[in-house]
Structure 1
Amino acid sequence: MTSSSDVRSPSRTGAALALRDAALGRPGAPVLHGVDLDVVPGGILTVVGPSGCGKSTLLRTLAGLLSPLTGEVTQDGHPLTSPSADRALIFQEDALLPWRTLRANVELPLAIQGLPHSERRAQADSWLARVGLAEQSGQLPHRVSGGQRQRAQLARALAPAPRAVLMDEPFGALDAQTRAGMQDLLVEVLRGTGATVVFVTHDVDEALFLGDRVALLGSGRLAALHDVPRPRERAAHDDPARVALRREVLSSLGT
């Protein structure tokens, strides 16, 4: 079995993403106005806000799927105008191809990159081992659990060493125990990749556990941006600074 230490390391650092006085949405239907935001390279930015506030719109804009209506969106100081292999996008639905095994799904972006068969097979097996799916690598997606499909989707996203990973409620459909396990796994597998992460969630506790910073959206704007107290430990949920931040976030959401 290939060990996790054999996973191909990225040769590039995390992407620096930024918005400057940006209005986001679709023509005639803006949902966010005047957004100024810097996403720190290699950090995890979590994004929370009420339904319909523009969280997914922000993510799709950073992915290059939507253009800003006004203002500027950049990566590493250059205009971000289209999707790129530099930025992986993960949705709540796993989006695995049902006719391909988990291994073949993870191999797909590596094949698109042009890696030889033996190399992409080794990379796929290594990532599947890293997310705890070595024994399920030959299974079709419908033969494994929802949590296992999300693990496979995470492996597929990270295998080609993207510089940014954009995640839209990826654990929202999972039960509480599986969700906690996926949060821990995400932190573990991101360690050492250098990737920048933007993670959209409705769950305030998830946002505070995962995020280095948390962005609050509301009333058509970026309402606040907070550093999250560390260490990143579940036992730290009673830390006074974290409790105060949680209270502020919940208050801003009207809950």
Structure 2
Amino acid sequence: MSSAPLTTAPSPAGAALALQDVRLGHPDGAALPGTVTLRIAPGELLAVVGPSGCGKSTLLRTLAGLLPPLEGYVTQDGEPVARPAADRALVFQHDALLPWRTVRANVELPLAIRRVPRAERRRSAADWLDRVGLADHAHKLPHQLSGGQRQRVQLARALAGRPRTVLMDEPFGALDAHTRAEMQDLLVDILRGTGATVVFVTHDVDEALHLGDRVVLLGSDRVLDVPRPRRRDAQHAPETAELRRRILESL
């Protein structure tokens, strides 16, 4: 049975995620201290910060269904998260592009796995490459692109499958400051209208405050609302500066 055209279908609503008394860790290793109870609203961008080793990446993998919680419950729309699913996408710091596939073929990959017809895959990939500003690079291989361009391809690949949840593990951490700022603004612009729920892990407090609707301080059970509207110069506003101070103190 063929899939419905992705470019004409409405954007899916973001997923509601919840963790209840979750203890994070690997089944064959030590559990991380404390438990996590958290609710993430549909369409929210939740930024996650915390000291090294507090479980930020483990949290993402648990939400993705790659790691089971050692205790507690993880749900998406009230249903247990027991395994990976096509409507949850992971975006990593290292782009994880397949080096033998062209840019277009990399973006098409999640659609090919779902057996979306070739013509529809091509249209969707072309649309997303245009959105991330790489329409002229579709036939290149990943090694022919800059680091920022490869991250744009990874973002296009993640969103081409129209996920309801996007889990991002420090995706801009390896980029220079200028490219990182460009990618942050591109992410905000592209996510507008997708409806996706986003959990964004970062070590950069300013990045968390610029991108997040809320910031969770993992390991302290504190979740802080971020003042809006979102502006690049908002860090100088008194309320944002005070929030930044509180976050840095907690780290």
TM-score band by shorter chain is over 0.9
Give me the whole-angstrom Cα distance separating, in 1, the residues matched to 2:7 and 2:137: 18
Unmatched runs of 5 consecutive residues or more in structure 2: 1-5
Give me the whole-angstrom Cα distance separating, in 1, the residues matched to 2:65 and 2:205: 26
- After TM superposition, list the pairs within 5 Å mapping 1:26-175 onto structure 2: 26-27=26-27, 28-175=29-176
Would the aligned equivalents of 1:14 and 1:194 in 2 still touch at CA under 8 Å?
Answer: yes
Post-superposition offset of 1:40: 1.1
CA-to-aligned-CA distance 1:31-64 (integer Å, 9 cap, x gap) = 1422110011101000001111110011110010
CA-to-aligned-CA distance 1:56-87 (integer Å, 9 cap, x gap) = 01111001011011111100011111100110
Give me the whole-angstrom Cα distance separating, in 1, the residues matched to 2:45 and 2:7: 21
Give me the whole-angstrom Cα distance separating, in 2, the residues matched to 1:116 and 1:78: 30
Give me the whole-angstrom Cα distance separating, in 1, the residues matched to 2:192 and 2:33: 32
Name the amino acid aligned to 2:70. Answer: L
Would the aligned equivalents of 1:9 and 1:193 in 2 still touch at CA under 8 Å?
Answer: no
Q: 1:184 to 1:209 in 2, by over 3 A?
A: same
Identity across the alignment (%): 68
Give me the whole-angstrom Cα distance separating, in 1, the residues matched to 2:168 and 2:33: 19
Report the number of matched residues: 245
The residue number in structure 1 matching 2:237 is 239
Name the amino acid aligned to 1:66. Answer: L
Give me the whole-angstrom Cα distance separating, in 2, the residues matched to 1:68 and 1:88: 19
Moved more, 159-168 or 21-30: 21-30
The residue number in structure 2 matching 1:20 is 20
Give me the whole-angstrom Cα distance separating, in 2, the residues matched to 1:169 and 1:42: 19
Would the aligned equivalents of 1:169 and 1:199 in 2 still touch at CA under 8 Å?
Answer: yes
> Runs of 4+ in structure 1 displaced over 3 angstroms?
6-11
Post-superposition offset of 1:11: 4.5
Q: 1:146 to 1:9 in 2, by over 3 A?
A: farther
Q: 1:32 to 1:91 in 2, by over 3 A?
A: farther
Unmatched runs of 5 consecutive residues or more in structure 1: 1-5
Name the amino acid aligned to 2:226. Answer: V
The residue number in structure 2 matching 1:181 is 182
Would the aligned equivalents of 2:12 and 2:194 in 1 still touch at CA under 8 Å?
Answer: no
Would the aligned equivalents of 1:7 and 1:127 in 2 still touch at CA under 8 Å?
Answer: no
Post-superposition offset of 1:120: 0.6
Give me the whole-angstrom Cα distance separating, in 1, the residues matched to 2:170 and 2:233: 24
Would the aligned equivalents of 2:44 and 2:198 in 1 still touch at CA under 8 Å?
Answer: yes
The residue number in structure 1 matching 2:213 is 212
CA-to-aligned-CA distance 1:159-188 (integer Å, 9 cap, x gap) = 010000000010000000000000000001
Name the amino acid aligned to 1:226. Answer: L
Name the amino acid aligned to 1:134. Answer: A
Post-superposition offset of 1:194: 0.3
RMSD after superposition: 1.2
Q: 1:8 to 1:203 in 2, by over 3 A?
A: farther
Would the aligned equivalents of 1:46 and 1:199 in 2 still touch at CA under 8 Å?
Answer: yes
The residue number in structure 2 matching 1:202 is 203
Q: 1:43 to 1:9 in 2, by over 3 A?
A: farther
Would the aligned equivalents of 1:32 and 1:54 in 2 still touch at CA under 8 Å?
Answer: no
TM-score scaled by length of structure 1: 0.93
